[in-house]
């Protein structure tokens, strides 16, 4: 699960870097607009990261793994590794 969460964190950093590097356009005409867009992204990210923090609770761990698989942050091969370790 940690691997999937770290992949999502990495993706968010890439999204942020792309936003910062993108030329100004109709949506972000100037630095103020760009800063406000980044602030919104950061606020939304904080909410998502806080939810991920709760995933380690034993009551939500299966939901968390399911979400990470559906969104592609954990692969089927990685799940199989967990299944293979279960017998040891």
Query: Got the DSSP string for 29-88?
Result: -SHHHHHHHHHHHHHHHHHHHHHHHHTTSTTTHHHHHHHHHHTTSS-HHHHHHHHHHHT-
Predicted model pTM: 0.72
Give the model's pLDDT for residue 88: 54
pLDDT class for 84, splitting at 50, 70, 90?
Answer: confident
Give the model's pLDDT for residue 86: 64
Q: What is the mean pLDDT of the chain?
A: 88
């Amino acid at each position: 699960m940690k691997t999937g969460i770290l992949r999502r964190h990495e993706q968010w950093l890439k999204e942020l870097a792309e936003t910062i590097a993108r030329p100004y356009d109709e949506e972000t005409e100037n630095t103020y607009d760009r800063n406000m867009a980044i602030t919104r992204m950061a606020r939304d990210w904080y909410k998502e990261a806080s939810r991920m923090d709760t995933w380690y609770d034993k009551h939500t761990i299966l939901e968390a793994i399911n979400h990470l698989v559906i969104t592609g942050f954990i692969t089927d091969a990685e799940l199989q590794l967990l299944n293979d370790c279960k017998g040891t």
